[in-house]
Amino acid sequence: MTYDKRHGGAWDRGSADSYYRRPYNPHKYVAGTMTSEKVESLSASDLEAYKAGWQDNEALGWFKEW
């Protein structure tokens, strides 16, 4: 499956939450991250994209080193 990987999109947010070791919290932004409205009530396809972004990063093991 191909996902929209734009900055602020559901896949991007899932990947970023995993990378920064934040809790699993499905969301996306209407446009850019933190510069537009945050959306937490996601469609089934956006939920799938968030989960895929999260799982992709978890599988790669790319995590922020503090």
Please determine, for residue 7, whether its predicted confidence score (pLDDT) is greater than 90.
yes
pLDDT of residue 61: 97
pLDDT of residue 1: 86
pLDDT of residue 59: 98
Question: Phi and psi at residue 11, in whole multiples of 5°?
Answer: -65, -45
CA–chain centroid gap for 29, Å, is 10
Q: What pLDDT digit, counting tens, does each position of 9-63 carry?
A: 999 999 999 999 999 999 999 999 999 999 999 999 999 999 999 999 999 999 9
Beta strands in the chain (DSSP E): 28-29, 38-39
Write down the pTM of the prediction. Answer: 0.94
pLDDT of residue 9: 98
